[in-house]
Amino acid sequence: MTQSKKKTTIILFSGDYDKAMAAYIIANGAAAYDHDVTIFHTFWGLNALRKEAPVPVQKGFLEKMFAKMMPRGADRMGLSRMNFAGIGPKLIKKVIKKHNAMPLPQLIEMAKEQGVKLVACQMTVDLLGLKPEELIDGVEFAGVAAYLADASEGNVNLFI
């Protein structure tokens, strides 16, 4: 009897840098252990997938307001604790660099290189008025049913 490949699924709901970093550290670790890994980004977790540079797209008033209030890109996300009016992320990035750890944007790139499936929740993308061209390359779009199909076969399922 052959053993099937283990599966790890992660719902990334949080828009906090440190929580997104934890999700990507776990995802990369699971991928290194030969798991099939899916990260399902929803609501504020979608910020990790946004491109840093503005992308010219047509949006309504509310969609423009959401776009202005949400950080553009993984490197601009705030911390869950000790944000200190924006100084916290700078401090944590300095500590990350000092300890030769990978910052979040590099963890995302590593995950892509390892074949981690990055999924954007289509319903939330629509609700927040995001356009596919505003997200980094390699992102798939799916609904909760697709996530649940992956999760139902998962050995590890996390909500961050």
- Cα 72 to Cα 44, 45, 77, 95: the distances in Å are 11, 12, 8, 22
Q: pTM to 2 decimals?
A: 0.92
Q: Which of 33, 31, 16 is nearest to 111 (CA)?
A: 31
Chain-centre distance of CA 147, in angstroms? Answer: 14
Angle at 150 between CA 152 and CA 142, to 5 degrees: 130
Contact between 9 and 152 under an 8 Å Cβ cutoff? The reply is no
Exposed/middle/buried for residue 103 (C-beta within 10 Å: 0-12, 13-18, 19+): middle
pLDDT at 3: 57
Q: Domain count of the chain? A: 1
pLDDT at 1: 46
CATH number, residue 120: 3.40.1260.10
Angle at 73 between CA 71 and CA 123, to 5 degrees: 75
Give 27-47 pLDDT, tens digit per residue: 999 999 999 999 999 999 999
Residues of the chain falling short of pLDDT 70: 1-3
Q: Which residues contact 150 (CB under 8 A, 6 or more apart)?
A: 7, 9, 38, 40, 117
The H or E element containing residue 120 is strand 117-121
Domain span at residue 91 reads 5-157
Q: What are phi and psi of 139, to 5 degrees?
A: -90, 135
Give 11-27 pLDDT, tens digit per residue: 999 999 999 999 999 99
pLDDT at 87: 84
